[in-house]
Amino acid sequence: MGGDAEAHSRPLKHLLATFTTQSLAACGFIAFVLIAPNLAAATGLPERDFGLAVTFIFIGTALSSAMTSTYMRWFGSVGTQALTLVWMGGAFLIVYVGSWSATMLAAFLFGLGYGPLSPISMTIVTERTPQKNRGLFLAVRQSSQPLAGVVLGRALPPLMIAYGWQAGVLTISVVVASGFLIIWLWPSLFRLRDERAIRRPVIPAGHQVGLLRSLAARLTIPANLRVLWFAGIIFAITQVGMVFFTYIYMLEEIKLSPIEAGIFASNLQVAGLFGRPVFGWFCDRLGRTDVILISIALISIAASYGLLIVETDWSAAAFLILALACGFSGQAWNAVFTAAMAEHVPREKLAEMNGRAFAFLSIGWMSGGPFCWLLIELFDNYRPMYVAVIGLNVMVAVMLSIWALRKR
- What is the Cα Rg of the chain in Å? 20
Please state, in angstroms and rounded to a whole number, the distance separating the CA atoms of residues 261 and 248. Answer: 8
Count CB-CB contacts under 10 A for residue 185: 9
Nearest to residue 126, comparing CAs of 280, 314, 309? 280
Question: What one-character DSSP code corresponds to residue 310?
Answer: -
* Per-residue tens of pLDDT for the chain, all 408 residues: 334 333 444 777 877 888 888 889 989 988 998 898 899 989 988 888 888 888 899 888 878 876 777 778 888 888 888 999 999 999 999 999 989 999 999 999 999 998 888 778 877 877 777 766 666 777 677 777 778 888 888 889 889 988 999 999 999 999 999 988 999 888 888 887 665 444 443 434 443 445 455 555 555 677 778 888 899 999 999 998 998 889 889 988 898 888 888 889 888 888 877 877 777 777 777 777 888 899 999 999 999 999 999 998 899 999 999 999 998 888 888 778 877 887 777 766 776 777 678 777 878 888 888 899 899 989 888 999 999 999 999 999 999 999 878 766
Which pairs with CB-CB distance under 8 Å and at least 24 residues apart come from 381-388? 381/253, 382/245, 382/249, 382/252, 382/253, 382/307, 383/307, 383/308, 385/241, 385/245, 386/241, 386/304, 386/305, 386/307, 386/308, 387/304, 387/308
Q: Smallest Cα–Cα separation from 107: which of 148, 61, 145, 53?
A: 53
Predicted TM-score of the model (pTM):
0.74
Domains, in order of start, for the chain: 10-195+210-407 (1.20.1250.20)
Helix (H), strand (E) at residue 61:
helix 53-65
How many Å apart are CA 342 and CA 335, to the nearest integer?
11
Element (H, E) at 146: helix 144-163
- Looking at residue 351, what is its pLDDT? 65
Encoded amino acid at 264, one letter: F
Task: Tell me which DSSP letter residue 201 carries.
Answer: P
| SS3 at position 194 | coil
